[in-house]
Structure 1
Amino acid sequence: MSAFKSFILIALSFLLITCGNSESKKNNVSIRTNAKDNVVKLGETVTFSIHNPDNVDIASVRYKLNGNTISESLHLKNQKLGIQTVTATIDYGDSKEDVSTKITILNNQLPKIYGYEIVNIYPHDITSYTQGLEFHNGELYESTGQYGESKVRKVDYKTGQVLKNVDLAQQYFGEGLTILDDRVYQLTWRENTGFVYHVDTFEKMSSFKYGQSKEGWGICNDGTTLYKSDGTENIWLLNSETLAEASKLQVYTNKGKIIGLNEMEWINGKIYANRYQKNGVAIINPENGAVEGVIDFSPLRKLVTQHQGLDVLNGIAYNSETKTIFVTGKRWDKLFEVEVFEK
């Protein structure tokens, strides 16, 4: 081997060794909690400690929950439910290191059971694969799905007459709908696209893309913020100006997460959400994601015309003028006006 080749090999070996040791070695430390499997409930106290098997000298430790500073003993009261991140910043005196772990926060109460009473029954287009339903100024707006059949429309709910209709292009599968500041927001399923229409003319004003949520399912609003479901346990909070996903809720009970959240409606400070392939509705606290109640609408399906294309309950709207709730389903020929009460 020539002297030149030997020099090159030595230089490369030195470079590899240098690059391999360029990062400082992390200490063998981790976060431990007093909770079994790191699962805790609201109302309980969770404590954090540093597991330090090598007895490295530690000057101080600072804990954060989702970026907010907490003490090593935290009483859970108003925290968001679901999988949350705890980070510890460990100060060794001459260096610092961040380590993290996940905890799962559950609700501490069973969901309440609600019943309903039918107030009125109105006609509904049996061909509509209902995905979104909402009242605005006393008139009903609806979004429907299926490729080649999707549309957004305004309906006289008492007669079922279609007052205005816009068909989506065949490549779009329509999903949820909500109305805020004279704008109709309509989601599509897997096309990563939402549409914005003027509420009076149905003129398409703009479109928007999703962020971390890969699919569009249901959407509602509280008068300021848009809430978007994606078929998982997550509800994403969208900035109404930019339509960017600012944060999210994880929907949980006292047992675990609730997936398949679909069409949603904001009613008296709560989110009412249909669940995919279920004939029921979950009542969700928008502050922390807790399921506070459930409504079983299964008997309604037996009251509509039974046919081959009949599908599950989907579509919930609150009429502020009558103070009642309206529900229907995919290819149902009836729209039910109901009053809900706690059993």
Structure 2
Amino acid sequence: MRLLLARRVLCGVVLAFGVVACAPVVPAQHNGQHDGEQTDQGVGHAGSLPHLRAEVIRVLPHDRSSFTQGLEIAGGTLYEGTGMKGESLLRATDLATGELRREVELPDDLFGEGITVTGDRIWQLTWQEGVALERDRESLAELRRVEYPGEGWGLCSDGARLVMSDGSDRLTFRDPVTFEPTGSVDVRAAGAPVEELNELECVGGQVWANIWGSEEIVRIDPATGQVTAVVDASGLLSPEQRPGTDVLNGIAAVPGTDEFLLTGKYWPALFRVRFVPA
């Protein structure tokens, strides 16, 4: 069974430029992968899990034409992978200045998904095409393609292995060189499956995962698959920013800090946040 999200709105989130009032979700409508509709999927108030909220530290601009699928920071560069056939790309941006360093488009028949940096390489998933693209980190050029079964959603690296989601309640571990599977773990909260695991971020021995269709992010112990905390990331967008946007998706740890960058599909802003007790 799926866990149901009791939709909550976090009022009075303090941004760098003021206070954002509560607003209902107004999802955009698109024809594509897990897009367009805000659902009731999520963890909500499962058991006695620690509940956190996203405290906004700074608001940064974001290309609102980006259907964000993967977000990661490495070496002072913000890497972003986007989706939709005919629109998917991978870009590298200077984290400090926002200057675009490099950008490459995917072939029109590929729907881009999660990304991760590992050494001098970048892996980029595709949704239903069953291939992962290995890229040169500096040039972003495609080096090879590796096939995998099922769908590709989120991807991150813990330094020793890759962690991949496919929209189910399972995380699959993969070799960072061969992309071959090396194991898996089922994700549970209060004994129930947590499905729709989407964009991933590996940091501090934990895996953070966006729950597609919700405004929640969960922290997962990859050794056991147990959810160890739930983040309420609702209320980030103002009512003026909401029209034309899609779901929350995109989480990148800021190296050397306890902060993260959050964004969503077609969002006009990146939010630099810290997760604090709710």
Task: Tell me, yes or no, whether TM beats 0.5.
Answer: yes
Q: Distance in 1 between matches of 2:175 and 2:183?
A: 9
Q: Does residue 1:341 correspond to 2:276, yes or no?
A: yes
Runs of 4+ aligned residues of structure 1 deviating over 4 Å after TM superposition are none
Amino acid at match of 1:221: S
What residue in structure 1 maps to residue 23 of structure 2?
A: none
What residue in structure 2 maps to residue 115 of structure 1?
A: 53
Q: Return closer, same or farther for 1:304/1:165 CA change in 2, 3 Å cut-off.
A: farther
Kindly state the Cα deviation for residue 155 of structure 1 after the two structures are TM-superposed. 1.3
Q: Distance in 2 between matches of 1:137 and 1:304?
A: 34
Name stretches of at least 5 consecutive residues in structure 1 with no aligned partner. 1-107
Map 1:274-285 → 2, pairs under 5 A: 274-285=210-221
Q: Return closer, same or farther for 1:146/1:259 CA change in 2, 3 Å cut-off.
A: same
Give the 3-state SS of the residue equivalent to 2:236 in structure 1. Answer: helix
Kindly state the Cα deviation for residue 201 of structure 1 after the two structures are TM-superposed. 1.2
Map 1:311-322 → 2, pairs under 5 A: 311-322=246-257
**8 Å CA contact retained: 2:208, 2:220:** yes
What's the TM-score, normalizing by structure 2?
Answer: 0.80
Q: Deviations over 1:266-292 (max 9, x none)?
A: 121110000111111011001010011
Q: Distance in 2 between matches of 1:304 and 1:125?
A: 16
Query: 1:259 pairs with 195, 209, 223, which one?
Result: 195
Q: Does residue 1:207 correspond to 2:142, yes or no?
A: no
**8 Å CA contact retained: 2:104, 2:141:** no
Q: Deviations over 1:124-165 (max 9, x none)?
A: 000000000000101100000011100001013455432210
What residue in structure 2 maps to residue 224 of structure 1?
A: 160
- For the aligned residue pairs, the C-alpha RMSD in angstroms reads 1.6
What residue in structure 1 maps to residue 75 of structure 2?
A: 137
Q: Distance in 1 between matches of 2:258 and 2:78?
A: 14
Kindly state the Cα deviation for residue 303 of structure 1 after the two structures are TM-superposed. 6.3
**8 Å CA contact retained: 1:122, 1:158:** no
Give the 3-state SS of the residue equivalent to 1:190 in structure 2. Answer: coil
Map 1:1-343 → 2, pairs under 5 A: 110-211=48-149, 214-302=150-238, 305-308=241-244, 310-343=245-278
Q: Distance in 1 between matches of 2:276 and 2:103?
A: 34
Q: Distance in 2 between matches of 1:255 and 1:225?
A: 26
Q: Distance in 2 between matches of 1:304 and 1:130?
A: 20
Q: Deviations over 1:52-89 (max 9, x none)?
A: xxxxxxxxxxxxxxxxxxxxxxxxxxxxxxxxxxxxxx
Task: Flag the structure with more relative contact order, 1 or 2, with Cα contacts below 8 A and sequence separation at least 6.
Answer: 2
Q: Deviations over 1:242-298 (max 9, x none)?
A: 211121110011141000000000121110000111111011001010011110111
What residue in structure 1 maps to residue 10 of structure 2?
A: none
Q: Return closer, same or farther for 1:157/1:305 CA change in 2, 3 Å cut-off.
A: farther
Kindly state the Cα deviation for residue 301 of structure 1 after the two structures are TM-superposed. 2.9
Q: Which has the higher helix share?
A: 1
Q: Which has the larger radius of gyration?
A: 1
Q: Deviations over 1:85-129 (max 9, x none)?
A: xxxxxxxxxxxxxxxxxxxxxxx9632101231111100000000
Amino acid at match of 1:253: A
What's the TM-score, normalizing by structure 1?
Answer: 0.65
Q: Return closer, same or farther for 1:304/1:337 CA change in 2, 3 Å cut-off.
A: farther
Give the 3-state SS of the residue equivalent to 1:300 in structure 2. Answer: coil
In the comparison of the two structures, how many residue pairs are matched?
A: 233
